[in-house]
Amino acid sequence: MRFFAALLLAMTLNAQDRSQARSMVISDRGIVATSQTLASQAGAQILARGGSAMDAAIAANATLGVVEPESCGMGGDLFAIYWEAKTGKLTAINASGWAPQGLSIDVLKSMGQTSMPQDGIHSVTVPGCVDGWAKLHKRFGRLPWSDVFQPAVYYADHGYPVTEIISQAWLAEAGKLSRDENARRVFLLNGAAPKTGELFRNPQMAEALKTLAREGAAAFYSGPIARAILKTGGRLGGKMTLADLGEFQSEWVQPISTGYRGWRVYELPPNGQGIAALEMLNLFSQFPLSSYAPRGTEELHVQIEAQKLAYQDLQRYVADPRFSQVPVEGLLSPAYARERARGIDPKHAACDVAPGNPLPPRGDTIYLSVVDREGNIASLIQSLYQHFGSGVVVDGYGFALQNRGALFTMDAAHPNALAPRKRPFHTIIPAFMEKGDLHMGFGIMGGLNQAQAHAQFVSHIADHGMNIQAALEAPRFTRKTFGGCGVSVEKRIAPETIVELMEMGHKVEVLGDYSSDMGGGQVVIHDSKTGTNYGASSPRKDGAAIPEPHPYFP
């Protein structure tokens, strides 16, 4: 608690002379932080109506599926962590879907495929999002199920002005959308992506949301929406069946964690990449990062090299644990971190890094975070994977199906090999961390960027005492490949630091000041001693952290 008080004092003293662009949102009521302001506002309104953090999270997520349709929606997967203020209990769900029973490596090879399709109907896995919503609402919701979909229905029916970053992403995918007759009809206005500020309506998606609100999750997995998904897939030669949809169940899971500089940091277990963030933090802990200059050469070099080691392990070992033995305990053990850290040369970049040998076990995306007035925290991430997922839009219902199957491999010997009813390796990861009275839900988007961004964010807070807005905004690096010495950094990294990194052997690509490649993020904090809540939102997205409105009017 003294840490946070000192942090707040430092922020007050330096409020007129700081590097961060935005202030934190601070309130004694709830806060909703998402990547689009209308979705944040929708969640805040749900809180004002007496909804829980989870009600607000589902409402905001459903609204994002309308106003940020390239990134998320009911055709995708979902992961979430929920912290109950009253009990201090963490609950997590893995709502990622499986491959159709009729889809296998041999089936794809018989079609002439030599690698996993990156879009189209054979990249589609069962969408887990709606089942995740239903299970989370049943356990943690307060408002009626139908109520949480009303903001999304409203925007789909009445329309909304398309925002800046979303319009750019939409424009970039016009070619993909034009290849599917439904996508072309729904998402391209007169053959073109909507421009910034242009009003966009999706009455077909409104009908899907109304059906879901009225009939519940069964409408999606065995009812009219399921039949539309199968009709769409059948027309395109897909292998998904009613049994694939109807027999799917999302799974309650136990978060995995590590300690870092007095904080306890939680991620979800495989089949997601959260374990790589924890392994990176374990590697960071072998170095005195707090004595290094923030975003200086020493810190960035150590963190980049740690990312290489952790991501080689990620690529080698992480898959669906129902099919493959994932050495979670070995990867997260302190002894393994010490062993791997010895491979980091303090003066030179390594360009050819191999996976380690951990001991075997014993035995594009949206992220949002919500804290309600009681302090309950929802940390939720949901995605179609790449923009507009598979590019296949469901007949009559106006939403895209994900392309998560693209993350399987066709190497039958690999843990992440495609198999019927198997879940692919997943990039989307929600996170949570706590220290004393401070409890934080956080996440950062961007495919393989996510685990490395999580680790850098935690280090900004734990090693350098940044507040959550400053930690989100701080310039970052990212590596989107598993091998080599290439690394991308934001332009705000000092030029002399970039030169020094290059002299050490790093092949540095300099991106914009606030590059979308680094991923937007959201954070909320509940201080259980004072009852005060804090929120932050990254300037790399169109969103904001918005507080629950107070009852000004009778």
The angle formed by the CA atoms of residues 317, 321 and 326, to the nearest 5 degrees, is: 35
User: Is 79 in contact with 268 (CB distance < 8 Å)?
Assistant: yes
Q: 């991501």: which residue's tokens?
A: 311
Strand partners, 253: 92
Q: Is 53 helix (H, G, I), strand (E, B) or coil?
A: helix
Q: How many CA atoms lie within 13 A of 511 on its CB side?
A: 17
> Which residues have C-beta within 8 Å of that of residue 364, sequence separation ≥ 6?
70, 71, 169, 383, 384, 385, 386, 387, 445, 446, 447
Type of residue at 13: L
Q: How far apart are CA 70 and CA 73, in angstroms?
A: 8
Q: Is 91 an active-site residue?
A: no
Closest among 95, 165, 174 to 129, alpha carbons compared: 95
The answer to whether 186 touches 204, Cβ cutoff 8 Å, is yes
Using DSSP's 3-state secondary structure scheme, residue 279 falls into helix
**Strand blocks (E) in 85-142:** 90-95
Q: Which of these is catalytic: 34, 91, 365, 427?
A: 365
Helices (H) and strands (E) in the chain, counts: 20, 19
Q: Considering only CA atoms, which of 366, 490, 454, 424 is closest in space to residue 32?
A: 366
Catalytic residues, by residue number, are: 365
